[in-house]
Chain A
Amino acid sequence: MGAAILPVLVFTVLWGGVGIILPFLVPKGPNRGVLQVILMLTGACCWLFWLCCYMCQMNPLIGPIIQSHVALVMQQEWGGGPATNAQSA
């Protein structure tokens, strides 16, 4: 349970880059201030929205209820999951 390092790192670096690093690289001009605000807010909003979605799935308290024929298809199409693979190995 918990977070995987890779997606958290990738997304934090991505939106952190947009929100923190890019504002420094905005060329000088009359619109510099506005562009910086735009980049910072974009980074913050997008990161927060992704984070909420990620965190709310981190520790699921309920599981999806699916119909058994859907479950059958799921098992065939998406596989039995890493746990069973590990067990069979």
Chain B
Amino acid sequence: MSLFRSEEMALCQLFLQSEAAYACVSELGELGLAQFRDLNPFVNAFQRKFVNEVRRCDEMERKLRYLEKEIKKDGIPMLDSGENVEAPQPREMIDLEATFEKLENELREVNQNAEALKRNYLELTELKHILRKTQVFFDEREIHDVDESLTANLIEDQYVGTQMMNLAAKQGHLGFVAGVILRERIPPFERMLWRACRGNVFLRQAEIDTPLEDPTTSDQVYKSVFIIFFQGDQLKIRVKKICEGFRATLYPCPETPNDRREMAVGVMTRIEDLNTVLSQTQDHRHRVLVAAAKSIKIWFTKVRKIKAIYHTLNLFNLDVTQKCLIAECWVPVSDLEAIHLALRRGTERSGSSVPPILNRMETREVPPTYFRLNKFTKGFQMLIDAYGVGTYREANPAPYAIITFPFLFAVMFGDFGHGLIMTLFALWMVMNEKPLIAKKSTSEIWNIFFGGRYIILLMGFFSMYTGLIYNDFFSKSLNLFGSQWFVPQKSMYIFKEKDVMLDPKNAYANSPYPIGLDPVWQVADNKINFLNAYKMKVSIIIGVCHMIFGVMMSLWNHMFFRKKINILCDFVPQIIFMTFIFFYLVLLVFHKWVAYYATGDDEGLGPHCAPSILITFINMVLFKNGEKIGECEPYMYGGQQGFQKFLVVIAVLCIPWMLAGKPYLIYKYRQLQHQQFTNVSTAGLTEESDQVQMANGAAAPSGDHEENEKMEDIVIHQAIHTIEYVLGCVSNTASYLRLWALSLAHAQLSEVLWGMVLRLGLQSGSWFGGVFLFMIFAAWACLTLAILVLMEGLSAFLHTLRLHWVEFQNKFYQGAGYPFSPFSFDTILETAQNVEE
């Protein structure tokens, strides 16, 4: 019976030996059935007893995160065995700390070395490129020296500088600077040089084809080699400053070709040496990380468990002798045995001789609400909890919503085809449950769908059933059993008319189509008229039944809490009001279906005499008398007028009963109590009783509200309650008409989609028609999925949710509780992992 009402909870006091406390809490964390209360709410987080330990755990976690980051950077797979490691003993913490410290230091050192090496390597590669590229420039210069006379004739921009250089070289010292710069900085660099040196320098540049690795950020960057020729020391200083400003690295470049060649050879050998050293460092780093990757998940689990334990221990109170810790926790009564066992295990593990003491405490505080859920019921409970977590031990709507929710959804969504798509999707999710869970998707929308897979499955099943009843299959009907309507052979004359109404007298077989609507209505022009009458009535019938069910639930609640006064003054008038007016309406609907027929001999029961239920109902409430029109009786059965008046009078009388009954009874009861009290006190205990009263008042500030509530409050509360119920009955009944509206909208929309889209493809002939149909079908299928299944499904879902939250639950559900959140390693680890991702 766990899902029908929340678990019975007990507040327990726990005395733990200081040595055993850690092990016991660890066992309780594995069990996950105790919610600890903070016993020092006014103590700052930094002044608690185990702050140091928590801080150490934080530090360890930081190191682990660093390790994890490095492992991810190298793309090493982390072994996640999924096995549950127990929380380590407190003394193991030091070992763990030492391990992590060592690993972190090693890694940092390796990283530092690697960085230095990489920087070195980068410099050498850049130098190599400079030597290679500048060689080209110098070669060019020599060529120009040779055929200077030729180029003098063909003065082009590019060669002006070269010639200038050559001139300068002849005149004497022409200096140059070579370096490497980021490629995107070249244009501003060039502009700056030109402006600052007034065009007296000459810049040549060449792009390095392969990207180089930046050692600090390890990004791949594109760079260019440049060489600047200039004359004079002043320009040299200026050029160097500009280079510095643009973060270009300058490298010494020898002037003579021989030196350059020598240098290039030297650089190449050094690069090779560096490469071997670098690869060795990388190997070492890799080895360290691979070793760490094997157990990093386990380490995370361990550290998180230790931290959680110390956090919990911080909630405890220290007793005066400092020898034992006092804890208070909420525990499900049926699990007390398991808690005892866990505590005993913890004591044994810690080697303490004194067993922990678990005391059940008396309390007036409201316990948390706890349901034992499985993967199937979880989704439905979440729907209810989204409205409000149930008050402790009150009737839970979730077990009923398992069926009524998909059913009401399906009444609005009824289409066999759409239901089939939904079912298949949900079935796929349910079948592949385990691999899909293991994937741990972070997409929020997917997680919502996946979390509600069982809801969607049931919604799909019921949609298929209601689709069968509505006889809608992608807006087309199935003629499974043969229509009961036919066009009589003899009435060929009807084809002279444009359209024809089949007369129920001679075109209808004797009994209805066995399952659902007759397929003939799908092709009828007055389909909407017929469907409106049918769906409106069905939604009223379902709505009234649903609401009566809700009122019956309130009876169950009152009986459970032994509130006789509520049964007498709330439930009885409520159910009378509901049945005498609204259930009577339902009965009228059924009566009309049975009593009136088209083929009868009695003219009074013919189709034109059938009264409108709505008008009858309005007349009933307004005490209007119907009038006889022709031979038609205004009433559907004998004595209806008197009976209806009786019903309305009784129902109206229920309103003052609801309004005044409860306050009056409470008033009487209090008077009686007061009399007894004064009788006792006049017997000579006046002073003492005053004291007792004061003590009571002080001791139970948060006690039973009902006994302390003032009389005015009770009256006002009851008035609001009554008005809400009476008006609610009317408006809620009307609200259930959304079942009709949405199902009609859904059917119409799918019909329009068929008529406007798919029919185009079905109409065109020849081979071209096949190709066209192929494309049209794709469009139709996409629209069906996106609009009819997804969007309409969503809207029907929301309307169903409203019908449950408002129309159904306001009859009995308070939803004023708070959820039970036990100390459990599973949930802590799970949330930590989700935060990480």
Contact = CB atoms under 8 A, between A and B. Distances in A.
A75 B610 contact: no
Contacts of B176: none
A35 B594 CA distance: 35
A53 B510 CA distance: 16
Interface string A6-40: 11001100000000000000000011011001100
Closest 3 CB pairs of A and B: A81-B486, A64-B524, A4-B511
B513 A30 contact: no
B712 interface: no
Nearest to A84: B489
7 contacts: A6-B514, A45-B407, A65-B526, A71-B487, A71-B502, A81-B485, A81-B507
Given A4-B512, A7-B515, 4 more contacts: A1-B510, A55-B594, A58-B511, A65-B501
Given A53-B517, A59-B593, A81 B488 contact: yes
A89 interface: no
Given A45-B404, A48-B542, A80-B486, A61 B596 contact: yes
Contacts of B469: 49-50, 53
Interface string B470-500: 1000000001001111111110001111111
B416 to A, nearest CB: 14
B428 interface: no
B503 interface: yes
A81 B518 CA distance: 14
A70 B520 CA distance: 10
Interface stretch (B48-56, B136-144, B285-293, B530-538): B530-538
Interface in B330-345: none
A4 B495 CA distance: 32
B670 interface: no
A77 B236 CA distance: 102
Contacts of A57: 484, 512-513, 517-518
B377 interface: yes
Nearest to B513: A57
A47 to B, nearest CB: 11
B525 interface: yes
Given A53-B469, A53-B517, A64 B502 contact: yes
B44 to A, nearest CB: 44
Contacts of A10: 514
A36 B600 CA distance: 44
Interface of B: 1-4, 372, 374, 377, 399-400, 402-404, 407, 411, 465-466, 469-470, 479, 482-490, 494-504, 506-518, 520-521, 523-527, 529-530, 533-534, 537-538, 541-542, 545, 590, 593-594, 596-600, 607, 610
Nearest to B490: A84
Interface of A: 1-4, 6-7, 10-11, 30-31, 33-34, 37-38, 41-42, 45-46, 48-50, 52-68, 70-72, 74-75, 78-84, 88
Contacts of B501: 62-66
B760 to A, nearest CB: 20
Given A2-B511, A62-B607, A63-B504, A30 B488 contact: no
Nearest to A58: B512
Contact of B524 (A56, A66, A72, A82): A66
Contacts of B4: 33-34
Q: Which of A59, A62, A75, A82 has the most CB of B within 10 A?
A: A59
A81 B562 CA distance: 62
A62 B527 CA distance: 11
Contacts of A38: 399, 402-403
B487 A80 contact: yes
Nearest to A63: B502
Nearest to B486: A81
A38 B523 CA distance: 37
A22 to B, nearest CB: 13
A65 to B, nearest CB: 4
B537 A52 contact: yes
B499 A67 contact: yes
Contacts of B1: 33
Contacts of B490: 84
Nearest to B482: A78
Given A71-B487, A75-B487, A41 B404 contact: yes
A7 B514 contact: yes
B412 to A, nearest CB: 13
A59 to B, nearest CB: 4
Contacts of A53: 469-470, 516-517, 534, 538
Given A41-B403, A84-B490, A46 B465 contact: yes
Nearest to A46: B465
Contacts of B407: 41, 45-46, 49
B525 A66 contact: yes
Nearest to A71: B487
